[in-house]
Structure 1
Amino acid sequence: MKKTPTRAVSPTAAPSRSIDPQQPGPGFQYARAQFEALADVALSHAKHLGAADAGVEVSEGAGLSVSVRKGELENVERNRDKSLGVTVYLGQRRGNASTSDFSPDAVRQTVQAAYDIARFTAEDPVAGLPDPEDVADEYPDLDLFHPWAIDSAEAARIALACEAAAFATSKKITNSEGAGVSAQQSHFFAEHMRGGERRMTGIFSGGYASSRHSLSVAPIAGKGKHMQRDAWYSSMRAPEQLASPEAVGRYAAERALARLHGRKIATTECPVLFEAPLAAGLLGAYVQATSGGALYRKTTFLNESLGKQVLSKHIDIVEDPFQMRGKGSAPFDDEGVRTAKRKVLSAGKVLGYFLSTYSARKLGMRTTGNAGGSHNLVMTSRLTQPGDTLDEMLRKLGTGLFVTELMGQGVNYVTGDYSRGAAGYWVENGVIAYPVEEITIAGNMRDMFKQIEAIGADAYAYGAKTVGSILIGKVKVAGN
């Protein structure tokens, strides 16, 4: 297999755009000032009804998605949605309601609905707005909004070029599940009321705009029973940072071609190397297992793991919400709590969980600013050297399995048991010998985490998680 394409070529470049609060931003129908006025209607009515504490969020999203297949346009879809959600607190009782109707009467009816729900909801001793000392009173601009001024014709041209590059790679590319281009953007404004007061220190008010664009293709190699499919994509905040359609198409085709003539292997226990994009899934499993909801419900195999070593001693994990243009960047979380750069795991030892205000209170702890999820996690090994490319990681693997595809959702977070369908390559003496398919990887996440022997320098950003390929010393592989 060849290396992941890294050349970033802009189909059509777009500069960063800030939004005039009095005017709708590019591609939007509503201005920030209109969102603030809607929030005022909602919170004023909540106060009128007798609620001292409440929160409201107003949002709008818009986008274009175009797909092609075998050289022809297949689908053009434009999406536009808007929402106003309100939460009303009556003491320690909470009610939520939402609407897509922005008329003043509809907003007031939505507040009334949330109020009525709160009246008849059981008390929850930890329900409530975030504590004033945790609220983000000020926050930085992280350069997250880069609208893509693209129409359906240009999006189709880019998608067709991507698919054509896949077909041109080899005559063995015989079919395609299609290629697609997506340009998405959104903005929101959220505000809280505490004790009937608003727009004061310790009472949240804020919002921002963001964008996310992508290009993908899924070619098919071979014919009949021997067909193999693979795919690749590029996803960025700014369109000029997307990989070129030609690079994405060629690499997807190379991946499909490399899987031709796959074999089954005998059941064995061997070292397993997870390709970097799949390694991000292992990092995601760690986040799930150390997140507040699973912890306070005691539905995680890493319950009460704070301060304990749960991964190999050479592993560190850092969270950085402030990466410019980062896919997981956020100046505050979904509750308006300030985020912070922090080390969540050091030398394999858990230094912090991923907590919202609610889950933190359930655990008798303090929020970590993770309502809505983690922010730009980077998992590294203290043993990694600059020369630890994928080829070097294969040499470290020696003889074993290199996994490039996982299927199913076979992780039991209560017990840690792990079982996933897989495909990839059998490696002998550090060199890929042949592709393998129809196998299952099984183990327990507790053991797998502690048996991580190396992380490659081939770091790949998969969504909000960045990690290189991960080598685990011993895993059960079920085959024939």
Structure 2
Amino acid sequence: MIVQLSDLQVQMKQVESAVKEALRLAEAKGVSSAECSISHSSGISVGTRLGEVETVEFNQDGALGISVYRGNQKGSASTTDLSEQAISAAVDKACDIARFTSPDPYNGLAPAELMATDVPDLDLCHPGDQSAEYAIKQALACEKHALNLDERIVNSDGAHYGSHTGFRVYGNSHGFIGGYLQSRHNLSCVLIAKEGDKMQRDMSYSVARKMHELKSAESVAEEAAAETLSRLGARKVPTAKVPVIFRADVAGSLFGHMVSAISGGNLYRKSSFLLDHLGKPVLPEWLSIQEKPHIIGGLASSPFDAEGLATKDREIITDGVLQTYLLTSYAARKLDMQPTGHAGGIHNWRVTQQDNSLAQLCKKMGTGLLVTELMGQGVNMVNGDYSRGAAGFWVENGEIQYPVEEVTIAGNLKDMLANIVAIGNDTDERHALHTGSVLLEQMSIAGN
């Protein structure tokens, strides 16, 4: 079953009509302003384990949400039924709720002058085969290939295949209404290997807008097997202070904490270790980060944000200096600033890369820890204290020596970010933030 793009376009037009109707009904109720949105997704998810199909789920999600404002009082309601009667009932409920909420002077729509005036086609939707037969075939092929690669691979936590298409529509009483189609396909495999009486677990995955751009089932299986087998014979290491490399697939989390620290909610609550750092150095002077929301086919591309604000190319960090906070309209009013088009998240951040492979970063590090997995949530956003469980590899004289497990790494995020030594060219683009492996000058590690 291949979803037709034309069918999705028809569905989105119908939803746009429902959004317009909700806004019309809200206006007829005499509210000051209103906004309405729906994110719709449909598709299939299949899970297999040890050659058996464990789950087959057909998903269809999406509710119309309406928010109305009576002055500074806000009321919200939602409905999955898009009939005229259901939409009218949802508008009535939102209006009733607004009467009983406390006024908040920072409530309201984003500024009209910042609404997107153009919704470019970013080529984000490429429907694929969503039949159960095809999905099951992909998951089974991936897991079967993985289990036959090495006799030390003794078990599996399964393979998973998913394919979803949908759209997002948003409108408000400024007269803005816009929508765009999107798709996402994914394939993953989790394996368990055994050597002696010790077992290790690891995985690999692929994600893409276009089905044919997914890595093959065999490729995902081979990567999962290689990752899992490489962890056999893991040891603990002595407590020490050494350089640390965050491999590309976990390095995004390091900058992810920075994203949280410069986001409006943490800033106006004064719960950020980067409070009052706008215009100040937060990274080394050789390091910059740009945002590119309009990359054609990008996994985190978007023509407008969740409030209808136009997204645009933006300098986040230039030569190490923080250029902008990430503000919704509510946070912007709290901080007496302008919203930045980040309601709903960031869009294709690109971190400066250098011409260093991961092997070259290890050479540059000399002796230290290469982190390939992080565990736990020991991060204090107020003061930046960082302490998390980790696994990876011990490096000596620039060469990987053996796998490492049951290690705790600790530092302070403000210092960690400021003391980045180098970034590799092995960029991982499976997330909204694109970065290569990151070499940090020093962290405390606790093992034996």
TM-score for both structures, normalised by structure 2: 0.97
SS in 2 for 1:41: helix
Answer whether contact 2:8 2:166 (CA < 8 A) is retained. Answer: no
Offset at 1:103? 2.2
Which ranges of 4 or more aligned residues in structure 1 deviate by more than 6 Å?
A: none
CA distance, structure 1, for counterparts of residue 278 and residue 5 of structure 2: 41
Matched, 1:51 2:28: no
Offset at 1:37? 2.6
CA distance, structure 2, for counterparts of residue 334 and residue 145 of structure 1: 18
SS in 1 for 2:63: strand
CA distance, structure 1, for counterparts of residue 318 and residue 24 of structure 2: 47
Answer whether contact 1:221 1:228 (CA < 8 A) is retained. Answer: yes
Answer whether contact 1:273 1:472 (CA < 8 A) is retained. Answer: yes
CA distance, structure 1, for counterparts of residue 227 and residue 159 of structure 2: 15
Q: Of 145, 149, 158, which aligns to 2:125?
A: 145
Counterpart of 1:475 in structure 2 is 443
Q: Of 316, 330, 341, which aligns to 1:358?
A: 330
SS in 2 for 1:439: strand
Choose 112-121 or 38-47, whichever is displaced more.
Answer: 38-47
Answer whether contact 1:283 1:379 (CA < 8 A) is retained. Answer: no
SS in 2 for 1:281: helix
CA distance, structure 1, for counterparts of residue 190 and residue 409 of structure 2: 24
SS in 1 for 2:442: strand
CA distance, structure 1, for counterparts of residue 40 and residue 420 of structure 2: 43
Offset at 1:82? 2.7
SS in 1 for 2:296: coil
Correspondence 1:177-188 to 2 at 5 A: 177-188=157-168
Answer whether contact 1:423 1:438 (CA < 8 A) is retained. Answer: yes
Code of the residue aligned with 2:271 in structure 1: it is T
Offset at 1:56? 1.2
Give identity over the alignment, percent. 45
Q: Of 70, 77, 80, which aligns to 1:90?
A: 70
> Any idea what the Cα deviations from partners look like across 1:198-255, whole Å, max 9, x if unmatched?
xxxxx31111111111000001111574110000000011111101111110011011
> Which consecutive residues of structure 1, in runs of 5 or more, have no partner in the other structure?
1-11, 195-202
* Alignment RMSD (CA, Å): 1.6
Q: Of 140, 144, 162, which aligns to 1:160?
A: 140
> Which consecutive residues of structure 2, in runs of 5 or more, have no partner in the other structure?
none
Q: Of 81, 97, 100, which aligns to 1:101?
A: 81
Offset at 1:36? 2.6
Matched, 1:276 2:248: yes
CA distance, structure 1, for counterparts of residue 417 and residue 13 of structure 2: 49
> Any idea what the Cα deviations from partners look like across 1:154-188, whole Å, max 9, x if unmatched?
11111111112212221111111000100011113
Answer whether contact 2:195 2:232 (CA < 8 A) is retained. Answer: no
CA distance, structure 1, for counterparts of residue 113 and residue 80 of structure 2: 32
Q: Of 377, 388, 407, which aligns to 1:420?
A: 388
Answer whether contact 1:440 1:478 (CA < 8 A) is retained. Answer: yes
Offset at 1:407? 0.4
Counterpart of 2:286 in structure 1 is 314
CA distance, structure 2, for counterparts of residue 241 and residue 323 of structure 1: 16
CA distance, structure 1, for counterparts of residue 197 and residue 117 of structure 2: 60
CA distance, structure 2, for counterparts of residue 379 and residue 291 of structure 1: 18
Correspondence 1:20-419 to 2 at 5 A: 24-25=7-8, 31-194=11-174, 203-222=175-194, 225-381=197-353, 384-385=354-355, 388-419=356-387
Counterpart of 1:5 in structure 2 is none
Offset at 1:33? 3.1
Q: Of 434, 439, 445, which aligns to 2:413?
A: 445
Answer whether contact 1:354 1:370 (CA < 8 A) is retained. Answer: yes
Answer whether contact 1:38 1:58 (CA < 8 A) is retained. Answer: no
CA distance, structure 2, for counterparts of residue 139 and residue 81 of structure 1: 24
CA distance, structure 2, for counterparts of residue 85 and residue 310 of structure 1: 38
Code of the residue aligned with 2:426 in structure 1: it is D
Counterpart of 1:199 in structure 2 is none
Answer whether contact 1:316 1:380 (CA < 8 A) is retained. Answer: yes
Offset at 1:150? 3.1
Answer whether contact 1:174 1:223 (CA < 8 A) is retained. Answer: no
Code of the residue aligned with 1:457 in structure 2: it is N
SS in 2 for 1:432: strand
Answer whether contact 2:43 2:130 (CA < 8 A) is retained. Answer: no
Answer whether contact 1:219 1:252 (CA < 8 A) is retained. Answer: yes
CA distance, structure 1, for counterparts of residue 370 and residue 352 of structure 2: 19
CA distance, structure 2, for counterparts of residue 467 and residue 38 of structure 1: 40
CA distance, structure 1, for counterparts of residue 39 and residue 433 of structure 2: 25
Choose 94-103 or 40-49, whichever is displaced more.
Answer: 40-49
Code of the residue aligned with 1:408 in structure 2: it is G
Counterpart of 1:3 in structure 2 is none
CA distance, structure 1, for counterparts of residue 38 and residue 425 of structure 2: 42
Code of the residue aligned with 1:25 in structure 2: it is L
Code of the residue aligned with 1:94 in structure 2: it is K
Offset at 1:94? 1.2
